[in-house]
Amino acid sequence: MHKLNFHLDLLEKDNISTYYTELFNVETNKLVHTSSLTDSSVLKNNFVYIDDVPNYLNAKINTQSETIKLKKINTYQGSLINLGKYNNFSDYLLNEISTKERSEIRRRQKRLDHCIKPTYKMFYGAISEADYNMVFNDYKQMLVRRLEQKQSYWEELDYWEARHKSTFQLIHQKKACVFVIYHNKKPIAIYINSIFGTAMFNEVVAYDIDFSRFNIGILIFLKTIEWAINNKFELIDMSKGDFSYKERFRNGTYTFQNHIIYNNKELLMWVKANLLILKISLIYKLLPWLKKMKINTLYTNYKRIKKRHIFKDYVLEPNRDFHIEKIAKMDPLDDLKLINIENPAYGFLKKPSIDFAFLNVEHFDDIVVYNKESNENTYFFKGKNAIQKIVFK
């Protein structure tokens, strides 16, 4: 059996013509791939299994051999945004997002822009090796740190090395793009996408959990949508996954399919193909029951244990209970020590200081942090407009 992933092995490697003569995008009503014949010699002599084909791409084969058959099996549900319905980003927000949520999005975006004065960059068509390596290293660190926080695992980590090797060239070929939000030249949110024609495929997002108060994962997603609309993309494929944000921002769904291509006249191949078809169909019919029995959770925990070496360098600061007081003035300076929260020793203060900036509309770089020398568990955050005392228990 020759197993392939539709996205990684066909789209990214320009290998569609070997297996399909036509791909028609029913969402955009456009023919996105056509060729006269598929490679009959490959298909005739191989039992081919292609997974994760979106059914909005209506796939056809046309070979010189009438014995080659294509069987399509429905698997997961995917989410998408058909951008052709909107004239601009404001039009998308107005039609798809509630008034209340639009207001909240604007509030958090304004707060982010005020508190940290971020810079935004889309890498598409060009990126330096230095920028690329920094982005990918930080993306992995942020992703692992987030998974450590959730005590979870995401199979994206299994493909990090492969993605790191391939994406640099794909960016230069305009087959991928990476959107980055920076604070003081350091990435705090990264969104990696792949490109096929006028369709953008969301691959992976990672963000610094210290900035979670700003809902930065949603903000970078919306920035990516805005960029796609401004650059005349017609569709955003949000892929699979039961995430609430997908339900909130999508305007359509589709079904992933697994395709099995085989020679109908070769008895052994016919038997193998039909057994696989039966097996896959049964698995996906049982999937709702397996989820109900939390088998997927058990599998995630198993993967996390198996891959625990990945997390060994990303141990989070232990949760420490503390209480906060908003005060009018500081304690005497002769009992206070100025500290640098960029020092790893004070890493546990990074998120509270960012939260202080958010809640008091302070610019992060204006915040000065002190430690009370007579009580090492007491700290002060001082901005231009507010002072806060934080005491760890």
pLDDT, one tens digit per residue, over 173-228 is: 999 999 999 999 999 999 999 999 999 999 989 999 999 999 999 999 999 999 99
Residue 44 contacts residue 67 (beta carbons within 8 Å): yes
**How do residues 25-50 score in pLDDT, each as one tens digit?**
999 999 999 987 666 667 777 789 99
Note the pLDDT of residue 118: 96
Provide the pLDDT for residue 45: 72
Architecture of the domain made up of 80-251: 3-Layer(aba) Sandwich (3.40)
In the chain, what is the greatest distance between 2 CA atoms, to the nearest angstrom?
89
Q: How far apart are CA 37 and CA 195, in angstroms?
A: 24
Sheet holding 2-5, edge to edge: 2-5, 48-54, 252-263, 68-82, 235-240, 199-207, 186-196, 176-183, 119-123
Judge contact between 220 and 189, C-beta under 8 A: yes
Please report the pLDDT score of residue 289 as a whole number.
Answer: 78
Angle, helices 99-115 vs 89-96, to 10°: value is 130
Q: Which residue spans of the chain are classified as CATH 3.40.630.30?
A: 80-251
pLDDT of amino acid 308: 64
Distance of CA 212 to the CA centre of its chain: 15
Low-confidence residues of the chain, pLDDT below 70?
37-41, 63-65, 151-155, 295-319
pLDDT for 333 equals: 85
Bridge partners of 379, per DSSP, are 371, 390
| Residue 88: burial class (beta carbons within 10 Å; 0-12, 13-18, 19+) | exposed
pLDDT of residue 64: 64
